[in-house]
Amino acid sequence: MRGTLRVATVAVAAAAALTACTASGQEQDDPVMNQQEATTPAMTEDDEGTEVVLVDPDGGEVGTVWLDDEDGALEIEVAAGDLPPGFHGFHLHAIGVCEPDSPDPTDPTKVGDFLSAGGHVGADMADHGAHEGDLPSLLVDSTGAGRLTASTDAVTLEELMDDDGTAVMVHAGPDNFANIPERYAPNGPDADTLKTGDSGDRIACGVVGG
């Protein structure tokens, strides 16, 4: 493990706001959903780094991720839309290949969406919750939009853009980070929990490098 995870900001996106008037004449903010706004990180023309497109298993674009090394940490910004509301596990996976209905590189008998991306970055070094590729969960609001900004010094952009690249992954369910109290599991988390945090299927994927 090269370092620890530092969360800068986590926020749900309402994409944009439109000012409207109520019957009493008071102003209120109504959410406005625009797919382009919901899936575009708040970057400027002066920013450098890598932009990654998130796609669903049908190949539809559902978001973008921006990555850049800054002040000794990898800065990560996510803007997504058209996703199921709720918390979603969000990780860096070891192989930059996002293929639907694909075999797991370590177990070809397992086939599923985006299994081609392999396991989490650093999964061979620690249990889940301490992988170099473990990141805060993405919270999606009732409109299907979500934004996340985080930083980690556990991995660099250069390392993510190695020969086989890396995949940015959104999962179907929340990530418990293998935090299972003993009153529920006296023997501790099981192997699946220690591997993935029980975040379930892979519903969006983007290729970094490769």
pLDDT digits (tens, 9 = 90+) for 52-78: 999 999 999 999 999 999 999 999 999
State the pLDDT confidence band at 41, using cuts at 50, 70 and 90. low
pLDDT digits (tens, 9 = 90+) for 131-162: 999 999 999 999 999 999 999 999 999 999 99
Average pLDDT value over all residues in the chain: 84
Mean pLDDT of 201-208: 98
- 3-state SS track over the chain: CCCCEEEEEEECCCEEEEEEECCCCCEEEEEECCHHHHCCCCCCCCCCCEEEEEECCCCCEEEEEEEEEECCEEEEEEEECCCCCEEECEEEECCCCCCCCEEECCEEEEEECCHHHCCECCCCCCCCCCCCCECCCEEECCCCCEEEEEEECCCCHHHHCCCCCEEEEEECCCCCCCCCCCCCCCCCCCHHHHHHCCCCCEEEEEEECC
- Domain 5-208, what architecture? Sandwich (2.60)
Is pTM beyond 0.85 here? no
What is the model's pLDDT at position 39? 56
What is the model's pLDDT at position 61? 98
pLDDT digits (tens, 9 = 90+) for 112-133: 999 999 999 999 999 999 999 9
Domain parsing of the chain, residue ranges? 5-208
